[in-house]
Structure 1
Amino acid sequence: MNQDYIIPEAWSIVEEGFDKERVKSSESLFSIGNGAMGQRANFEETYSGPTFQGSYIAGVYYPDKTRVGWWKNGYPEYFAKVLNAPNWIGVDVGINGEKLDLNKCSAIRNFRRELNMKEGWYHRTFEAVLQNGTEIRVDVRRFLSLEYDELGVIMYEVTPLNRDAKISFTPYVDAGITNEDTNWDEKFWEPLETRHSEKEAFVVSRTFKTHFHVATYMHNTLFRNGEEIASVPVSEKAGDDRISLSYEISVAKGEKAGLQKFGGYTASMNHPQDKLVHAAQEVIGKAVEEGYDRLLEIQKKSWAEIWDMADITIEGDIKAQQGIRFNIFQLNQTYLGKDARLNIGPKGFTGEKYGGSTYWDTEAYCLPFYMVTKNQEVARNLLSYRYNQLDKAIENAEKLGFSHGAALYPMVTMNGEECHNEWEITFEEIHRNGAIAYAIYNYHRYTGDYSYIPEKGLEVLIGIARFWAQRATFSTAKNKYVILGVTGPNEYENNVNNNWYTNYVAKWCLEYAAEQVEEVKKHYVSDFSRIAAKTGIEHTEAAQWKAVGEAMYFPYSETHGVYLQQDGFLDKELIRVSDLDPAQRPLNQKWSWDRILRSPYIKQADVLQGFYFFEDHFTGEELEKHFDFYEPFTVHESSLSPCVHSIQAARLDRMEQAYAFYLRTSRLDLDDYNREVKEGCHITSMAGTWMSIVEGFGGMRVREDVLHFSPKIPEQWKAYSFKINFRGQLLSIHVKASGTEFELDGNTPVPVVINGRKTEVHPGTPVTV
């Protein structure tokens, strides 16, 4: 049974009542971030119960030594992981000599926490009875500034309710941190320097091996009843990697004692190593100058600007509305596109699973969201991330025996090197190369910006095409090229031959790369000369790629009239998911891997992933036949699965099914469908939730430089609205059962095709269809 404790609200997620069993899950759900750093919603004060402490700095990683039972040539030697960063949020709180710990309180009442997505802050309140009999009310607000992305802010207030109290606040910074998912229980941080004064503390540390230097800092201010008072510590403790400063405030019953804590990180990614403390002092100076109230107002304004472009409104369905906003909010907390060195980890800043590394999810699912809701430079930065790692992709291919500049992008990476060590994924899930190429195509198709291809993209396409040309094998028996020993998007099948999706995306890559070689050679002569000199491309290569693509083999069943997921798929016992005992789900937690591999069950869209990417290559009737064949065997045990099925169900006018898939993808974490949210949220699949509305229900496509829409609305909704940033023009779409209104905020008319009918939308003149 799914969890249901998150209270549905349009602009917030809310938890009421304290439950120790929910702590880790809530730490994930209520996480906060600003693109540069993020943290789980851990309590600031001591908590001795089960908890998963997590703070993270974007781009700072450690090469955790690989741990496998049987080493195979080509395995990576390490798994690069985003590190659990030093903890700056900690505040030990004492009341009349007893340390506050919700795991040990005699009673807890009116516990409530809220993540306000509209304004970008996390708030927690509760009343507690301590073992010494003192009753208190606690009010804590925390946010990570978007404007000053090295700054976090905490306001922690305690009010004694039944007696006078001596309140002690002991804020600290602690660099003695480890990762829960470390393979060898290694320490990742080496302390270098500590400094402190009455109100401030700094711990400078660096990562072993990768040598990222980080200054973790705090600045403290005390308040009584909202008025600032002297902040003089009664004691100080400074170790090699931890500094704490203790303050005391005596307050009468009903009076409020407060601690304002500014904290965060300055890192050597952005500052000289010997200037990190100075940089932190500058951040503190800005924070003190602005003050808490002004910083909060700036935060609200920053989020208002994001929501003005990215928001999707849904009328008549509060859970659906909360779901899409939660997804959009988490995506923007994770990545804002300011830095081409960064990317989008599957867990973002909400947990350590998957090491915080980059997967093909970015190109396949996240890119459309950022193309449409940001300026095009943000999406271009995501493409540049892969271009900047092209040399490493070529090295990865060389390790597996490929040559002549063939490039295999890693399944998992932080710096371009492969970090995944399961052979069936590392060596076989090679379709990831297709997503990298498709993202280049998709970016040009949507933005109209072809300049990326001659400047950077063609080099990537050449490397990928060379890989596919070498990876394909000519079968004399079939008189076709085949691709053997692969894992498709459905990771419940390994080491199969001729996975249809892999073969199809390989064919497309080969032909698309050949086309772009000819285009750049003809129209961008100087760029092509530079690329030819760098890559050594031969004049016959493009023709060879086309020949391989044209002769690619695709398994097909005449009996069923469908492309087969791979050779031998029909040899399986084709029992539908609906006939499985629900107690056997999820399969990866209940079945042996041997049993999964022998079953027909599909973890996520595989053949249907190809029908999503290349839908214009197939008719609606073909989609329907393949959807009806494969969806009944799909268990949707990947977070990336429901969105693709929602989009395709909407295209087939199966709105109940499309809505059910939408609700699952939008509330995957809020309702914990996969029973694993305590490990972190599924960030990259959240972009699929946005796709489910805009591409699914809204039917938005770009064909031949023109926006197309085929709006539909679930019967559970009264209306929904979204915006499209298309080539510098802002188009607002409002869909109701009675019709759809299009409104343009721009300077020139935008041609659109609505349900097959061509029209134009002019600035200031809404069009209703």
Structure 2
Amino acid sequence: MLRHIPELPPEDIFPVDPWKIEQLGFEEHYIAQEESIFTVANGYLGLRGSFEEGRPVEHDETFVNGFYETWPIVYGETAYGFAKTGQTIVNVSNAKIIKIYVDDEPFVLGQVELRSFRRALNMKDGTLDREVVWETASGKRVRVESRRLVSFRHRHLAAIDCRITLLDDSAPVVVSSEIFTELGGVAGEGSGEDDPRKAKKFQGQVLEPRLHEARGRRVALAYRTRRSGLGLACGIDHLVEVDGPVHESIVLGGPLRESIRAEETAGRFDFRGEARAGQTIRVVKLLSYHTGEGADDRELMTRVHWSLDRGLEQGFEGLLRDQVECMDDFWRRSDIRVQGNHPRAQQCVRFNLFHLLQASGRADQHGIPAKGLTGQAYEGHYFWDGEIYIQPFLTYTAPRIARRQLENRHRMLDKARDRAREVNQRGALYPWRTINGEEASAYYAAGTAQYHINADIAYALRRYVQATGDTRFLHDHGAEILAETARLWLDLGFYQDRGDGRFHIHGVTGPDEYTAVVNDNLYTNLMARENLRYAAEVFSTIRLERPVHFERLAARLGLEPEEVERWRDAAEAMYVPYDERLGIHPQDGDFLRKKVWDLPNTPRSHFPLMLSYHPLVLYRHQVIKQADVVLAMFLLGDDFTAEQKKRNFDYYEKLTTGDSSLSACIQAIIAYEVGDDHSALKYMRAATLMDLADVGGNVRDGIHVASAGGTWMSIVFGIAGFRDHGGRFRFRPRLPDGWDRLSFRLTIRGSVLEVDLLPDTATYRLIEGDPLTVEHELEPLTLAPGAPVRRPITSTVVAAASLAKNEPDPARSEESEL
């Protein structure tokens, strides 16, 4: 079921543009939401979309991926094995600030007389652009232009190009460029006590000042977190230009006057002079951040100086050229092109793709936080979202980044082994939420009990290897992950002696967090079976094809061949719940015995339910936060018949609240598959507009990166009908009514495949690489460069729906719609 999806802003405020999210007019009421939407980031460094002048502001945050503080988790009543230490990403020094004064009047939106306002997230070039004209109290008009980027080429650099032009009169101008550090590490109000999704508000100081320097036009600061001991150095430097002849008359009051200073928590570069009408004062501000667990303060400061030196050498023009080259490469590999009578569709789809890049592009040795680097919600933690919702996009468009994410999970393996011992299990148990590899979830019922994180990682590993053919990574790193995750399942589960002799897994929580600590969760059992099977398959292959490597690996893991056979036996004996009377798969062993929640008569103000009802109330009912059985049908589609998929979808669709942003995209994919085209387009629209229309009412806290990945999936796996089960690459496309064309590219086994869909024809074109075999509606097609293959599409979608226009559901009244 779907709650009401808000309308997008009207076109006179939010114009339709295939490459921009543009805002025409200043709206103070939506500042927090716009700060998230207009974030620029590169996966390592993220600058929220707050204004350079520093106000008005809701959360003026800057984040560095993997830079966190720890804190003791306090329980009213504790128990053995509970997570002991929380982790929260730190709001680091704010270096965006550029304050402007004309006639001693500060430029502050909401306080000055605006003549025009335009701001745009330029998704083609990877910049945030703004142009404002304001009028001073004395009637002088001033144009302020800025362009902001966080470099994809230079991971530690960001830059702001700011230009101030007096349009019709001379005036004294002061520009103050600042860097400021909030030692508490959190911006804004609230601790998240009433909403577990929000970040913790630290008590006391987080960052300890270590070094501060000022010379020329440069300020550099260094800090260290008090508990986690992580080092941070950051700095700013400047290039200043005034147009016109290069002599003292450039500024009427004589030479430009400059000053620089640095303190423990702040630094500032000021310059001032009297500018003539028509003159443009240009300030290019360079920002650099470096972090490190082992590096000392002076080394980190040195790295900042190197980065700033590089930025000065290139100038803003050079950094922008690099940025455009990186963006061109991204769009060449990853763009989804939509043509039809819904003009906003292209714009909205690209917004989601752009934020996927911003969350992952230079994450490198770090994971991908649930909010990317757009907000502090969820503490900056890495969840299973990365493997199930983001890795498919990376695997098929940026396999190098996908590999880095899996390498990051391999680096966490020792801590996952430690966690398994803490919960009295063998093998490894990956943390439900983490930054450093340790479990940081304080609520075990909906956290630690979600053991399926192990199988999710194994599934992402298998998909990556099948799509890339990267068996070297599989053998050298992936096999170790598979062995330790399979060991956990074998130890956690058991054979039922007095019953069916099947292998059961009890006391776990599946993806649906409204149903916790259950027996035989269908999703968990099926994914664990896949994990066990794949582990057995890989080790059997390594033993046969690389016996020396197998011996070394077995010795390191303490692995006996009989253990591999036990994995295979458990997989084949796995219990799969099924209800013959209803013809559906129960979500778990007891789910169908519970009372059905009355969703149609639940007040809209009570959603999300977790903020209005005690967990025990939710656990006693058939009510679902997010797709669970339906997700299993997507990931392991070959394990279900078409009839089972239809019955399962229909049953669980009525029970799913939409309280999770992870649900709509999966429901869209399966709705397409079972022929419920109207629901499919509605769910896809909900996923696509999750942030632009603020579907969940919480975009102020950051972008829903997993839903952005789900948007890609709902198009590629939904509309194009792409499936990759068992290493076969199959398409069953159906273009929605009103879509004239859809095209995208996938990277498979090093080859680049372009899929081009018209209402009645699919064209498969190999852009580069070796010949590739795919299937169109079960027909094998062998593709070679320069020889596109066209095939008719035998079924079409007849439901009229749009990604960007509200369509009332005739089956539900406004009062009952959720």
TM-score of the superposition, structure 2-length normalised? 0.89
2:186–2:201 CA contact under 8 A, matched in 1: no
Cα distance in 2 for residues equivalent to 1:41 and 1:227: 35
1:167 is displaced (CA, Å) by 1.4
1:392–1:417 CA contact under 8 A, matched in 2: yes
2:618 alignment partner, SS class = helix
Match for residue 724 of structure 1? Answer: 746
1:718 alignment partner, SS class = strand
Give the CA RMSD over aligned residues: 2.4
2:490–2:570 CA contact under 8 A, matched in 1: yes
1:671 is displaced (CA, Å) by 0.6
Q: Is 1:613 aligned to residue 619 of structure 2?
A: no
Q: Is 1:211 aligned to residue 229 of structure 2?
A: yes
Cα distance in 1 for residues equivalent to 2:452 and 2:771: 39
Q: Is 1:41 aligned to residue 45 of structure 2?
A: no
Cα distance in 2 for residues equivalent to 1:106 and 1:291: 31
Q: 1:743 aligns with which of 765, 768, 778?
A: 765
Q: Which amino acid aligns with 2:452?
A: H
1:345–1:359 CA contact under 8 A, matched in 2: yes
Match for residue 451 of structure 1? Answer: 472
2:561 alignment partner, SS class = coil
Query: Relative to structure 1, is the Cα distance of residues 626 and 235 closer, same or farther in structure 2, using a 3 angstrom cutoff?
Result: same
Q: 1:172 aligns with which of 173, 178, 182?
A: 178
Q: 1:255 aligns with which of 256, 279, 292?
A: 279
Match for residue 383 of structure 1? Answer: 406
Q: Is 1:128 aligned to residue 134 of structure 2?
A: yes
Cα distance in 1 for residues equivalent to 2:384 and 2:29: 33
1:503 alignment partner, SS class = helix
Q: 1:675 aligns with which of 697, 720, 732?
A: 697
Query: C-alpha deviations, 1:527-571, integer Å up to 9, x for none?
Result: 211121111123322233333333333333222111111233223
Task: Name stretches of at least 5 consecutive residues in structure 1 with no aligned partner.
Answer: none
Cα distance in 2 for residues equivalent to 1:487 and 1:232: 65
1:511 is displaced (CA, Å) by 2.9
1:590 is displaced (CA, Å) by 3.9
Matches within 5 A, 1:237-256: 237-256=261-280
1:93 alignment partner, SS class = strand
Q: Is 1:80 aligned to residue 87 of structure 2?
A: yes
Matches within 5 A, 1:297-696: 297-316=321-340, 317-336=342-361, 339=364, 341-374=365-398, 376-403=399-426, 406-479=427-500, 480-574=502-596, 577-578=599-600, 580-696=602-718
1:108 is displaced (CA, Å) by 3.2
Query: Relative to structure 1, is the Cα distance of residues 547 and 763 closer, same or farther in structure 2, using a 3 angstrom cutoff?
Result: closer
Query: Relative to structure 1, is the Cα distance of residues 705 and 615 closer, same or farther in structure 2, using a 3 angstrom cutoff?
Result: closer
Q: 2:17 aligns with which of 9, 13, 32?
A: 9
Q: 1:32 aligns with which of 17, 37, 40?
A: 40
1:287–1:295 CA contact under 8 A, matched in 2: yes
2:125–2:324 CA contact under 8 A, matched in 1: yes
Q: After alignment, is 239-248 or 25-34 more displaced?
A: 239-248
1:592 is displaced (CA, Å) by 4.0
Query: Relative to structure 1, is the Cα distance of residues 189 and 434 closer, same or farther in structure 2, using a 3 angstrom cutoff?
Result: same
Q: Which amino acid aligns with 1:125?
A: E
Q: Is 1:143 aligned to residue 149 of structure 2?
A: yes
Cα distance in 2 for residues equivalent to 1:169 and 1:625: 65
Q: Which amino acid aligns with 2:643?
A: E
Q: Is 1:56 aligned to residue 63 of structure 2?
A: yes
Cα distance in 2 for residues equivalent to 1:292 and 1:271: 29
Q: After alignment, is 636-645 or 213-222 more displaced?
A: 213-222
Q: 2:203 aligns with which of 152, 172, 185?
A: 185
1:249 alignment partner, SS class = strand
Q: After alignment, is 500-509 or 133-142 more displaced?
A: 133-142
1:323 is displaced (CA, Å) by 1.9
Q: Is 1:66 aligned to residue 73 of structure 2?
A: yes
Query: Relative to structure 1, is the Cα distance of residues 266 and 568 closer, same or farther in structure 2, using a 3 angstrom cutoff?
Result: closer
1:72 is displaced (CA, Å) by 2.9
Q: After alignment, is 732-741 or 587-596 more displaced?
A: 587-596
1:113 is displaced (CA, Å) by 1.1
TM-score of the superposition, structure 1-length normalised? 0.94
1:127 is displaced (CA, Å) by 3.0
Query: Relative to structure 1, is the Cα distance of residues 199 and 458 closer, same or farther in structure 2, using a 3 angstrom cutoff?
Result: same
Q: How many residues align?
A: 763
Matches within 5 A, 1:752-763: 752-763=774-785
1:562 alignment partner, SS class = coil
Cα distance in 2 for residues equivalent to 1:238 and 1:337: 30
1:697 is displaced (CA, Å) by 1.0
Query: Relative to structure 1, is the Cα distance of residues 106 and 241 closer, same or farther in structure 2, using a 3 angstrom cutoff?
Result: closer
1:411–1:425 CA contact under 8 A, matched in 2: no
Cα distance in 2 for residues equivalent to 1:423 and 1:244: 46
Cα distance in 2 for residues equivalent to 1:705 and 1:46: 51
1:76–1:421 CA contact under 8 A, matched in 2: yes
2:239–2:312 CA contact under 8 A, matched in 1: no
Cα distance in 1 for residues equivalent to 2:682 and 2:300: 50
Cα distance in 2 for residues equivalent to 1:412 and 1:527: 33
1:3 is displaced (CA, Å) by 5.3
Q: After alignment, is 451-460 or 668-677 more displaced?
A: 451-460
1:134 is displaced (CA, Å) by 5.3
1:585 is displaced (CA, Å) by 2.9
Query: Relative to structure 1, is the Cα distance of residues 227 and 757 closer, same or farther in structure 2, using a 3 angstrom cutoff?
Result: farther
Between the aligned residues of both structures, percent identity stands at 29
Query: C-alpha deviations, 1:69-125, integer Å up to 9, x for none?
Result: 33332222222222211111112222222333224x143342221000011000122
Q: After alignment, is 679-688 or 514-523 more displaced?
A: 514-523
Cα distance in 2 for residues equivalent to 1:21 and 1:300: 33
1:163 is displaced (CA, Å) by 4.6
1:411 is displaced (CA, Å) by 0.3
1:10 alignment partner, SS class = coil
Query: C-alpha deviations, 1:397-436, integer Å up to 9, x for none?
Result: 1111124xx1110001112111111121333111111101
Cα distance in 2 for residues equivalent to 1:657 and 1:327: 21
Q: Which amino acid aligns with 2:325?
A: K
Query: Relative to structure 1, is the Cα distance of residues 544 and 83 closer, same or farther in structure 2, using a 3 angstrom cutoff?
Result: same
Cα distance in 2 for residues equivalent to 1:747 and 1:23: 46
Cα distance in 2 for residues equivalent to 1:711 and 1:556: 30
1:192 alignment partner, SS class = strand
Match for residue 799 of structure 2? Answer: none
Q: Is 1:697 aligned to residue 722 of structure 2?
A: no
Query: C-alpha deviations, 1:419-455, integer Å up to 9, x for none?
Result: 1111213331111111011122212222222233321
Match for residue 197 of structure 1? Answer: 215
Query: Relative to structure 1, is the Cα distance of residues 9 and 68 closer, same or farther in structure 2, using a 3 angstrom cutoff?
Result: farther
Match for residue 292 of structure 1? Answer: 316
1:564 alignment partner, SS class = coil
1:15–1:114 CA contact under 8 A, matched in 2: yes
